[in-house]
Structure 1
Amino acid sequence: MNWTTRQSAFITLLAMLFGLGMIFILAYQVNSSYQVEVQRTRLEAAHQSSEIASQISSSLREIDIILKDLSDKISPDDLSNTEKSSARNQELQNILLDKLLQIHQADNIMLVSSNSNISHRALDTPGSGQLINNDYFQLVRNNRYQEKIYASLSNRSENTGIIVARRVESLTADFSGLIVASVTRNYLDGLLSNQNIGKHASIHLIDQNKGILAKYPAHASAPLFDDFVIQNLINGKESSVLINHTEPSQSISSYHPIKDTPFIVVVNASSEDYLLLWHKNTLYYLFGGGILLVMALLMCYFFWRSHRLTQNLHKKEKYLNASEARFRQMIETSPVAIVLARMPDYFITYINHQAAELFDQTQAGALSQRAFELYKSKLTFLEQVQRIQQGDAQHNIEVLLQRKDGQPFWGNLSMSVHETNQSTTIMIGISDITSKKQLEADLQHRATIDSLSGLFNRAYFTERANHEIARAKRNQQPLIVIMLDIDHFKKINDNWGHDTGDIAIQSLAGLCQSTLRDIDIIGRIGGEEFAILLPETDLEKGFPVAERLRQRIEAQRISLTDKQTLQFTASLGLTILEADDQKIDRILKRADQALYQAKHEGRNQTVIFNKQ
């Protein structure tokens, strides 16, 4: 067969379009992977700075708690510069030493008088003279509402750090001085060194004046801290991540303030780290693209060679197409979704219009798939094929399938095999039963879950509890049952309204779920009554669990829409599984008696059932 000029030009144009398409795809892939790496690094830097800020904030809070406890043991006179007895001086130093041993973050604890002089210290370390800048000390002194102070160490050029202080006032509310704990750079550097960062990355802890308090690694040079970002953080912005375009490489910096302090954590990630893999992948993309372009040229050549064979087969195809058209017309008019696939590779050879709509794809696009790709589980498909090959009919089987985008749905499926001399074909007929399965799931949910609290209802709790009791007795394991009731719930409804009462129930349900284990069974069995079953738990372990739950309920504050706060408590009754217990009813009765005792003895407490 002789090729015309038009046909040759068409093939050349097709090859050029394919090449341009490959170049576009490569450019898009390279740019997309670059954006992915940048976004991933932004998120990692933001997460790391937030985590470090949280760790430092937690350490400072621990120190503040110790200082608050210390303030209760120190009188205002102890901070003055007046002469004290040697016994009192020794007693004060012992107190400071005892507290210093409780906080490994600090290297010293000192008492500072109202005129900024140190009157006592836990350890006599060199260089522990003036701790706070005089101007800042005067601001603290004149601001009687500033109870806690966080600041940078003053006059410690060789060992910078942080001070945590609490204000001490006399009985007449006059400023008496400060109780101060110092956190040196050694501790802060050690905390930062625990972080996993890139070879060229760095972490800095700075104050609002961009003074460096700690850094990791030790040899890291300080980046150009952004004044605008720092000012925004001072003004209340939670965090900020920005890209610095500097020579020879760019970097990503995440700024995160430490809550209630003038300190900021800065994580700086270098492109030499986070773009290293991207550079390698780009080379692979270019190499692969070059290979594909060569393959495209070869494909054009083989297309030209195969064109003759195509013409020879054309007559046979016409005959087969006519036969296939009649068959497809019959299938297309069927209201059932039908899929045909050949064996043994399971490639789809035909899919009717109903099936294409069911799986949310075009009929042509489905021909490049295998039949098991329509299933959520490939193993399920292979098991069904094995059964029909063994002569086990597969009719009206409920199977979990998936659409083109991976969205699962339920189908009622029948499968059969049709063999000829040349091939073996699998025929699959499918009906969508997703609505039916959803209705069944909704009915099951309504039958087992309390609509207000989201916990098990009384009937389903009883069923689960009886099953757990039987298992515990069979395995000779302990078991705890707790009855919980909201104190003065009627007053909440009367004073705040039933909507607020519903909020209280939902809040308590959430506390139960977050406090207890996944294996614990929780149910709402009455208006404000809840039942809890703790499997594999004895009284020694169960009582602290109940007390922890009660304390969390007592500590909870619920903000209402009218800017008011709701607080409530709960009473708990606790009992164990006894030898003659067969059902939950007897155990609930004992727990209820213990609950009644808790109510009778003043509420907001946990009472263990006592037979006496």
Structure 2
Amino acid sequence: MPTAARTVTLADAPAFLRARGRLLGWIAVVALLVASLFGWELRQSFRDARLDSQRDAKNLALLLKEQLEGAFRETDLVLRDLAGRVSPAQLSQLDSLLPAQRSSLFNLFDGKRATLPQAEMVGLVSSDGLWAMADGKRTLADPILRDLFAQLSDNPGQEMVLSRPVRLRGNNELGFVMARRIASDNGKLAGLVYALVRLEYYSQLARRLDAAENSTFNLIDNDIVLVARYPEQPARIGLTLPLADRISEWVNGRSSGYTVFTSPTDGLLRGYHFERLEGFPFILLIGLPDQNYFGDWWRKASAYLAAFVMLILFAVAMAWRGWRENQLTLAVELGAARLQEQDAHILRALDAMSRPILLVRADSDMILAANHAAGELVGKPAAALVGQPLPSLYVRPEHHDKIVEQLVERQAVTDYELKFRAANGEPLWVGLSGSVIQYQNGRAYFLSLMDISERKAAHETLWRKATIDPLTGVANRGYFLERAEQEWHRARRYGHKLGMLMLDIDYFKQVNDTYGHDVGDQVLQGFVSVVKRKLRDSDLFGRLGGEEFGIVLMEYDRSTLTATAERLRAALAEQPLVLADGQILNITVSIGCTLASSHDLPLAVLMKQADQALYAAKHGGRNSVIYYDPASPAFQAG
């Protein structure tokens, strides 16, 4: 039967005041809990945005550093080669060389300059430092070359020197001079060989990275003087950067780092990452604007603040209404009610969050709750995730032990990258962060997920752009030289032999001149296709420039090396190339090869030997294989 209504009397006032106090206390607890959850979410999203900015700046800096170091090392390698080919006697007689001698030097230097897209010119300075020769012309050395000559003369142990930025002749472009010592037989300075490197090449590399708007790419020296910048600001080149003292203190003694400050030139807040170039006195300073990463965070923070204020106002209004209407609500089993209220608020907060969230029981790894965003991430309704073991979502379940280990040891896990399996069976890259909380009288994992598939794909695309020749699909020059250096060190460490092949398509210039560069591109692609079919997966194949290619072969002896080279030559000579329009072209290749049986010689010398053998094959009639052996008649004839 219905229960009679209870009449509230003055005797109930103390109990009512105690109940009201408890109610207000719970309102404060709930508000604090919601504020903590909102604050945790905002802190995590702020940290994620900062990490994204830091990671993107670091990736861009590393990619640009790799390409710049490759270009500078490539230039230095050419200068080393030229320094070994020019005799001190020629330098001492630079002002009186015969036309034939001058023409020979011009052809040598012009051929090397053609392999350096970053170089404006390559030239010589005489043994007295007064005369210079470049582009086949002898002129008085300008002040910059004389200053570099004086630096090398005053520092006998210094092999290479670089100038400050200079303006190129005949245009408004900027560049700097890289000079290398040429020593006489007694070790004294006999002259120098130099290359004028265009800073426009730096802008080209930075432009290819396709960074966000208002990003800055700065190349500075160790004195914090601006050497190059993208977007270009020619008026600031050669000047000390603003905030130079702060930047100097930041980079001093470090090889890389990240910080955030407002640029004094345009007032934008940016995250800056720097990387030192190994072996060169330059520092890369990459700045990405914060506005590209924190716009969504500010909107989310405003929305959370508004929701929290509305929640507080609503709670206060409800408490006021309860007090005005004299409705007494006394707490029964206060501890149990508190836990139930906390769990309910956790679930409501979970549903309100825009990021994918999973609540997982610690002792069984079963999913207790999932919000709508988590269901959208894996392509299932959120309700279908509840009751599933968390490892069933992984492509590789063994990741779970590592995640749990971090949660147990540190009570949290941050940015753990792994692959989830979506409902359609496709793998999905996810960044997982979370912490340990109390839920339903036990321990639970509060896990936040983020789809990082696009970032992973973008990183893969940037890596391919930086390492693969876009026309032929093999390693580009910079990546080939880097990998070749690694294989040389590996062979040296384990005592293995290392073979080097240099290949050059015969009469390729005539193909371009006769049929056009589009046919030339098809010939290069067909050539690469034939060669790759004859190589092992472990062999390193790369395009060094134009129609010249290189191959590094591991664990070959001389007979196997020359047999492989001959097999490549025969395959190309015997298999005509069929072009897109049905034309058939017969091509041949000249190959120079050498073998490092002992690893006392550096890789540059090994490549030079293979290049000399290639030169002998070219001059011996082409369509041939020559092994580097200075005592052989074929090599001497070349």
**What is the TM-score when the length of structure 2 is the normalising length?**
0.48
Larger radius of gyration: 1
**What is the TM-score when the length of structure 1 is the normalising length?**
0.49
